[in-house]
Each structure stands twice: as structure tokens, then as C-alpha cells.
Amino acid sequence: MDRNSVIGLLLIAAVVVVFSVVNSPSPEQREAMQRQRDSLEQAEQARRPEPVTSAPAPIQEQQPLVTDSALAGDSAHTAALVQELGAFAGAAEGEEEMHFIENDLLKVGVSTRGGQVRSVRLKKYKTFDGKPLMLADGDSSVFGLNFFSQNRSIRSGELFFDVVKTENEKLAMRLNAGAGQYIEYSYELKPGSYLMPFSVTFRNMESLVASNTNYMELVWQKRLLKTEKDLENERQNASVYYQFMDEEVENLSETSDEQEDLMTSVRWVAFKQHFFTSALIAEQGFGKPTRVETITDEEAGYIKECQARFTVPYNRGSDESFPMSFYYGPNHVQTLKKTELGMEELINLGLFGFVSKGLVIPVFNWLNSFDLNFGIIILILTVLIRIILLPLTFKSFMATAKMRVLQPEVAELNKKHAEDPMKKQQELMALYRKAGVNPLGGCIPALLQIPILFAMFRFFPTSIELRQESFLWAKDLSTYDSIASLPFHIPFYGSHVSLFTLLMTISTLLYTAINMQMTSAVNPQMKWMMYLMPVMFLGFFNSFAAGLSYYYLLSNLFGLGQQFMFKAFVNEDAIHRKIQENKKKPVKKSAFQQRLEKMARERGHKVPK
């Protein structure tokens, strides 16, 4: 080291010494800080409840000496905490411990840091790879009150709570702020329930909370953990749902991130996943506003992050509580109905959900009561639905057969009036009227079947009953069945091969081809479209629930069987004779038809008799 380096080091040392001397507390300040520290310790001892049973601290043979500098450092640190947190300074430091309560369905872990739920395990469910199913684990969930105390911002989620009562199914924790002054969280689990009653109690807090405060902000942030095989599909079925006090249920978008301030009181807010939900409920309602938000990180291993900021009323009473409840459980219709909170609306059954609720779900649950394999249940359900639709299917087939019998006459009229579309249309309508044939007779029954078709489209992917239920080569009917993994990704298809989807596509093409043969005339462009649609659906359904593809496969096969059966028992010659007889009968025109013909005559058009 040269002379300049030595001089520099000496100067630095001198600055440190001078700084320490100048900034060290005076004897009066040191004595004041010690009194304040002793006062805090005495207050802590006075308000601390009976300690939870723990191992006694080991006896030290020799206690280390406490130097003046260490004492000064501790005092300065304590003073800084008091300056920052005021009456809550004693809760700023501690050791995080987990305490568990459980029933036959849930095991919930609550941390002394923030007094908040840190882990939730659903005992009767597993993840797709056989691990315990956790709806919260570690830092995936953040929960706490935010408020002002003596001009200081307090965040309860960062402070340490004391355990005051713990049982197998009950737990109470307190955030202490002085003798007889505290905020208490109480948790309780009841046998056979996914609901966990939870309450926040404010005891003698009115002198510590800002005088103009009439509410506190309750923050709940949660990362939804992956539980199913297809992460992208989980993201497409996850969002924040909420119910207003008028019982209307709405939700943020499931396909994009969204934020909304709810300016009306809400009863509950739910962080919904594909098959499971975490919800916070206040039967008397949260105040307004409530801010809800979803955030998606495509690179993260979790589904989404959901956030809610609630307004909890605070009336400055010496002893007031705000009762709430958590729901940690499955998206199962009957289970959600038991809450009597309208939470069954979390299961999105689509536009034709009334069909699922009134027909499909009751029949499905009745079949499930016989403890059958779910592949067999879907088979029986398909047969029952096909029987219910049989009259409509037969009527559609008969309408198509009549149109096919009339096809030669229709072709002749098309050729005869090729240059006069208006005349051709009039002659065609006259022919149909005389023959007693409705050209839309085949379409109307088919349209009436659409509600059931779309109801099933929403029912199978949302049915938790199918989750992890196997059938044939499908290991899980609630997600896609993969018989082969591709070493590359095909756009609009994926990187796996679903056999049920392949079979469904083949059966749909076959069903379409046979219907084309039975149809009297089809526009060539429409014909190609009818063949193209099943091929397009091949990629669309490749990542859908195997139970849905299996149902459509069975429905197509039964539909083909019905078509062959109808064709075998329906005599088209008899239909032709019946049509010819109808032509000889006088045609009674409806009032609407008479008005149309009158309008046509007034415009100078000839109307056939």
C-alpha cells in the first residue's frame, strides 16, 4: 500500500469514529429508550395469553455479556419500530409458525404471520399426477387488513399474531396492540362441510384507529395452483366470479385479464378454477367499492393470479365483529347448492343451461347412484336422449323423404321457370301446398335438437364427476385422451392424438355422407361445407374432454342406426301415393297466405290457384 492508501484508510476510520460519537444517544436519551423498551415489554407480558404448549428453553450455563453498543442498537431498532408501527410495534417481529385445523374434507394451515390461511388441502381429491390437491400452499395466498393507526399505515398481513385458542376444528389468533386492544381472527371447520366460518373482531381499537375511519380495506390475493393436466385449458376456465346483494352473479373474462371496481355491495367473491373454487363470503355483504382483478403470466407455472380488495365496515365500537366464511371446495352442483348462496352459478352451463339443470344433470345423477362406470353412464345417457329425440328425428326423416319423392317435379319446375325466379318460387310453393309438404319440415325438428346438443357441449367439460374417471384407453374423461404424443406442434391441432376425437370425426363424416344420399338436392358448395366442418372440428375437439367426444361418437352411431331403421320401415312409394292423393284435395289457404297473394296481385303478379 502506498502513502495515499494509508492516509485514505485513516481518514475513513476517523469519519466512522466521529460519526459514531456524534450520533450515539446521550445518557438521557439512552435512559428514555430503555424505559420505553421496558414499558413495551411489560405491556407485551400483560396482554400475552397463556402460552401454547412448547418445549422449555434450554438452560444456558453462561449468559453472553450485553455490550453498550448492542444495547444501543436494540434500543434504536425498537424505537424505529415504534416510530413506524406505533402500538403495533410489538407484533413486528416473531417466528412464523403454522397451526392446522381440519375436518373430514379439509386440512387448513394458518400462519402466525398475518394470521392468514397459508395452506389448504382437499382430502378427497388428488392432482392429475397423484399428488395431494392444494388450493393454497406457502406464499400462493396473501390476506390481510390495511388501515391507518395514529397516522401510520398498518398492514396486518405483515405482522405476527398470537395464538389464543386452538382445537382440532377451531383456531383463534390475535394481533395485539396493547392491554385489551387487539384484532382477532377466528376460524372454524364443521364436519362434512367445505365452508369455513371466519370472523374479524375489533376489541377496544377505537383509540388506535384514525377518527375518520369507518371502514377497513381487506386484501386477498391468490395464485391459482395447477391441478389438471392441461394448463392452458385451466386458464380458459379460471376467473373471478362475484354475487351482488340482489343475487345476480357475474364474472370477469375467463379468456383475458380484466379489472373492475364493483360499486354495489357484493355477498361473495370467488376465485374459480376449472374444477375447484376458493371464495370469501359475507352474508351481510361487503361495503362498496370492491375491486376485483385477474392477472395472467404465460411463463408462470400457476394458472392465474386473482385479486380482490374488499371494504369491511368499521363502526368504531369497543367490541364489534364482522362475520364471513371461506369456501374451499369442488365445483360440484349439489355441493355448491348446499351453501344456499347461489354459488352453483360458478358452473357455467352455457346458454342452454336450463336443459342441463332440468334434464341432463338429474338423469346423470340418477344413473350415477347405481355406481356404474362413467363410460357406461354416458352410453345409457346417450340412449335415453336419443329415445327422447326419436319423435323429432323421425319427423325430420319423413320430411326429408317427402322432399325426395317430390324431387323430380321440383327439378322440372326449376327447368321450366329457370328465367323467372319469382314464377318458379310461386309454382314451387303451390306444389308443396297441394302435396301437403312443408319444405322446412326437416329443419325445424333438427333445430329443436340444438338445445340438447349445446347443453351436452357445456355439461361434459364442466362435470367434476368425470374427473380422473377412466374408460377404455382414456385415463381421465374430463380431459383429452392421448394415444400418441407428437414430436412437433401442429397449428389448430396440438401435439397429441386423441382417439375418441378421431373416431368422432370419422363417424360424423359417415353420418354426413349418408344424410347427403338421403337428401333430395344439396348445393355443391354446401355439400363441401358439410364435409369440411367435421375436419375442422377435429382440431377443435382434440384438446376437449374425452367424455364429450365419446358422447358425440355414440350419438352419431345411434343416429346412423336410426337412419337405417327408418329407411327399412318407411315405404317411399306409399309416401308418393299419399302425396298424389293430397294434390287432388282442395287446398285451404290460411288468412296470412291470402293476404300475401292479394299483395302480389296488386303489384301485377299472377298467383297460381
- 456 Cβ partners below 8 Å, 6+ apart? 360, 385, 548, 551, 552
Identity of the amino acid at 562 = Q
In a domain, 268, yes or no: yes
Where does 389-498 have alpha helices with state H?
Answer: 390-405, 407-416, 421-435, 443-462
In a domain, 184, yes or no: yes
CA distance 219 to 335: 27
Identity of the amino acid at 530 = M
- 448 Cβ partners below 8 Å, 6+ apart? 392
Q: What is the mean pLDDT of each run of 10 residues along the chain (609 residues)?
A: 60 62 55 49 44 37 44 67 83 91 94 95 94 92 90 90 87 90 94 95 89 89 92 91 92 92 94 95 91 90 93 89 95 92 89 85 90 92 88 79 74 74 74 69 70 87 91 91 87 87 90 72 64 81 89 90 82 71 61 63 58
Q: Do 271 and 296 have their domain in common?
A: yes
CA distance 426 to 98: 82
Residue carrying C-alpha cell 337428401: 519
**Strand, coil or helix: 26:** coil
For residue 1 the three cell numbers come to: 500500500
Q: Do 327 and 368 have their domain in common?
A: no
Q: Do 285 and 394 have their domain in common?
A: no
CA angle 58, 77, 179 (to 5 degrees): 75
Q: Do 225 and 363 have their domain in common?
A: no
For residue 524 the three cell numbers come to: 355443391
Range 20-28 contact pairs with CB under 8 angstroms and sequence separation of 24 or more: 24/72, 25/72, 25/75, 25/76
Residue pair 119/326 in contact by the 8 Å Cβ criterion: no
Backbone angles phi and psi of 204, in degrees to 5: 55, 40
Q: Taken in order 9, 12, 17, 18, is the CA torsion positive or negative? A: positive
With left for phi above 0 and alpha for psi between -120 and 50, is residue 525 left, alpha or beta? Answer: alpha
- 354 Cβ partners below 8 Å, 6+ apart? none
Cα separation values, 408 from 226, 431, 508, 521, 573, Å: 61, 12, 29, 10, 14
Q: Do 163 and 289 have their domain in common?
A: yes
CA distance 452 to 47: 64
User: On the CB side of 25, how many CA atoms lie within 13 Å of its CA?
Assistant: 19
Beta pairing partners, 306: 222, 294
Q: Do 406 and 432 have their domain in common?
A: yes
Q: Do 289 and 399 have their domain in common?
A: no
pLDDT score, position 62:
38
With left for phi above 0 and alpha for psi between -120 and 50, is residue 114 left, alpha or beta? Answer: left
In a domain, 104, yes or no: yes
Q: Name the packing angle between helices 374-388 and 390-405 (round to 10°).
A: 50
Identity of the amino acid at 406 = L
Beta pairing partners, 325: 197, 281
Say which DSSP state 376 is in.
H
pLDDT score, position 210:
82
CA distance 279 to 271: 6
CATH number at residue 241: 2.70.98.90
Q: Do 205 and 131 have their domain in common?
A: yes
If 0-12 CB within 10 Å is exposed, 13-18 middle and 19+ buried, where does residue 430 land? middle
User: What is the number of domains present in the chain?
Assistant: 2
CA distance 435 to 5: 114
pLDDT score, position 493:
82
Range of the domain at 130: 98-348
pLDDT score, position 21:
55
In a domain, 304, yes or no: yes
CA distance 550 to 503: 9
Identity of the amino acid at 568 = A
Say which DSSP state 24 is in.
S
Residue pair 288/311 in contact by the 8 Å Cβ criterion: yes
CA distance 320 to 597: 78
Cα separation values, 289 from 251, 261, 320, 393, 411, Å: 16, 6, 21, 52, 68
In a domain, 70, yes or no: no
CA angle 462, 468, 469 (to 5 degrees): 95
What is the full DSSP assignment across 593-606?
Answer: HHHHHHHHHHTT--
Q: Do 136 and 179 have their domain in common?
A: yes
In a domain, 8, yes or no: no
Residue carrying C-alpha cell 355443391: 524
Q: Do 185 and 296 have their domain in common?
A: yes
Which domain-ending residue is among 313, 348, 383? 348
pLDDT score, position 5:
60
Q: Taken in order 289, 290, 291, 292, is the CA torsion positive or negative? A: negative
For residue 491 the three cell numbers come to: 397449428
Which domain-ending residue is among 348, 366, 385? 348
In a domain, 517, yes or no: no
In a domain, 505, yes or no: no
CA distance 332 to 350: 16
Identity of the amino acid at 204 = N
Q: Do 325 and 421 have their domain in common?
A: no
Residue pair 341/243 in contact by the 8 Å Cβ criterion: yes
pLDDT score, position 355:
86
**What count of other Cβ atoms lies within 10 Å of the Cβ of residue 19?**
10
Where does 24-123 have alpha helices with state H?
Answer: 27-47, 68-85
Q: Do 344 and 399 have their domain in common?
A: no
**Max Cα–Cα distance, the chain, nearest Å:** 128
CA distance 181 to 94: 19
